[in-house]
Chain A
Amino acid sequence: MIIAEQKPMDEILEFLQGHRKVLVLGCGTCVTICLAGGEREVATLASALRLGGKLETVEQTIERQCDAEFFESVREAATACDAILSLACGVGVQLAARLFGDKPVYPALNTKFMGTNEAAGKWAENCLACGDCQLGVFGGVCPVTRCSKSLANGPCGGSEDGMCEVDPKTIECGWQLIHDRLKALGKLDVLTGVAAPRDWSKTHCGGPRRLTREDVAD
């Protein structure tokens, strides 16, 4: 899922300067699960915003802010407010801005990454959406995401005791993980060939990506 965290309060207050009535809009999917932008966080943030006595808030949470249809239920509330504070990921904030063309829409979160829930309150990045998945080759461990340099041909000289030199306390060496996994699978020979340069045009380097599925398109 998409992992996000709330922005510092000062930054949010700065956005809202001069506004009187704000729609605080949560999202019921990823950011609810990672405890950053669901119904509960909307309530907490809205009450904090009301503390100064200058702001009036309307609290709403919709199922998904990445699908236009779910915004219909808050159109009226949005019209009654002079700004929208979205607790969605960057995708949801942008869709809100597109749907409510005459309203300023501000992000309440920093969208961090796509990742897994590792333990209570801990998340880790696992996919960069490179558009050309090689997990089948690399034993189910992504070198693009898990290696700090996205190397394709094995660990650099900064791999020590399974950890990455970028932060030996918290970052595992992705290539140690790939090596261990392929060893366990008896497939270390996969790592002997020279992996060719990546086609980064499939990644964001090719511009904002679009996908059309003819089988389901209108």
Chain B
Amino acid sequence: MGVRGWGCMGDKNTYKSGSNLEKLMAAGEFVVTAELGPPKSADPEIIKTKANHLRGWVDAANVTDNQTAIVRVSSLGASKLALDLGLEPVMQMTCRDRNRLAMQADILSAYLLGIRNLVCLTGDHQCFGNHPTARHVFDLDSIQLIRMVRDMRDKKIFACGEEIKASSKAVPHEPRMFIGAAANPFADPFEFRVTRLEKKVEAGVDFIQTQCIYDMERFQRWMELVRARGLHQRCKILAGLTPLKSVGMTKHMRDNVAGIKLPSSYVERMERSKDPKTEGIAICVEQIQVLRQIEGVAGIHLMAIEWESKVGEIVQKAGLVPRPVVE
């Protein structure tokens, strides 16, 4: 097992989780992750179709957790299906729907089912989804969740401090997850955004996937602050991208989505194009080329919303194929 020493490695000569994503990052590869949104029904075919679109083109795929607060197949269930279909899952877990008991139970279950990557998120507020009258939980926040998953893995303890073992005489069987989190360089207050990232690093995160980037200038400024604190050496940062599908979507992203900054030049470019879909992909590929040159960017996270079929094309056009293999 060829292990190179970098900040997020655990014991000598062992991986923290042994996931494909972790191994590739440890080997210094420029990684590609994508997103698989589970369906709003118990239809397995949708998951199969999406997994087939992504398999081979990406190193792992995030499986979202009731994204935008809309009820769907759970991230745990869909992650297991993805795994069985040969696609490495990155299970997302939000703090909105579960308390610390349910979270730890699901982490144990996920590990037993073969899931090795876990992204810890706050979660969209329920007012945006299809159950706006639901009660939210937020027993923990995303940073406390990261710390809990890290302690489960590295200290072999539950959030309450008890050892993770079946009885006092048993040996511990801890869930070993490669821990991810999100960062949004475009939300406010801007100067606190890097501090918040640093808190996630302190809490024990191994990798970060950013909110989708359109304002490259602001992202560059954020990365300067990240590098100034050396955070890119303590966790791997994947730059988030969402390819633009249409003029309508581009305007929606610019005008209605909190925490996203989209320059009007992209709207104009999409409007001028005779083929906005192709133009959107071209923009995304150009962004990847810029991001690859930025020091501290360790990969990309492609959130092709209900457009998983285009991920292969984007990765190919960006020259990121074939995906590397590490044993």
Could you count the A-B residue pairs with CB atoms below 8 Å apart for me: how many are there?
Answer: 97
CB contacts (< 8 Å) of B306 on chain A: these are none
**A157-B184 Cα distance, complex, nearest whole Å:** 6
B139 at the interface (CB under 8 A from A): yes
CB contacts (< 8 Å) of A195 on chain B: these are 143-144
Interface residues of B in 246-293 (CB under 8 A from A): 258-259
Interface pair B189/A159, CB less than 8 Å apart: yes
How many residues in B have their beta carbons less than 8 Å from beta carbons of A? 35
Cβ 8 A contact of A197, one of B124, B140, B258: B140
Looking at A87-95, A120-128, A165-173, the stretch in contact with chain B turns out to be: A165-173
A38 at the interface (CB under 8 A from B): no
How many residues in A have their beta carbons less than 8 Å from beta carbons of B? 33
Interface residues of A in 176-195 (CB under 8 A from B): 176, 179-180, 188, 191-195
Interface pair B125/A160, CB less than 8 Å apart: no
CB distance from A93 to the nearest CB of B (A): 23
Cβ 8 A contact of A165, one of B139, B211, B259: B259
**A168-B147 Cα distance, complex, nearest whole Å:** 30
A153 at the interface (CB under 8 A from B): yes
Given contacts A149-B136, A154-B192, contact A160 B259 (CB under 8 A): yes
CB contacts (< 8 Å) of A175 on chain B: these are 192
Given contacts A151-B138, A157-B211, A158-B258, contact A165 B184 (CB under 8 A): no
Majority DSSP secondary structure for residues of A touching B: loop
CB distance from B16 to the nearest CB of A (A): 19
Cβ 8 A contact of B139, one of A157, A193, A196, A197: A197
CB distance from B141 to the nearest CB of A (A): 4
CB contacts (< 8 Å) of A188 on chain B: these are 195
CB contacts (< 8 Å) of B184 on chain A: these are 157
Interface pair A194/B203, CB less than 8 Å apart: yes
Cβ 8 A contact of B188, one of A173, A192, A196, A200: A173
B321 at the interface (CB under 8 A from A): no
Pairs of residues from A and B, 7 with the lowest C-beta to C-beta distance, nearest first: A157-B184, A165-B258, A153-B143, A157-B259, A151-B141, A156-B122, A154-B196
Given A160-B258, A192-B195, A197-B148: 12 more A-B contacts, CB < 8 Å: A149-B96, A149-B136, A152-B144, A155-B187, A155-B189, A158-B259, A159-B188, A165-B258, A193-B199, A194-B144, A195-B144, A200-B139
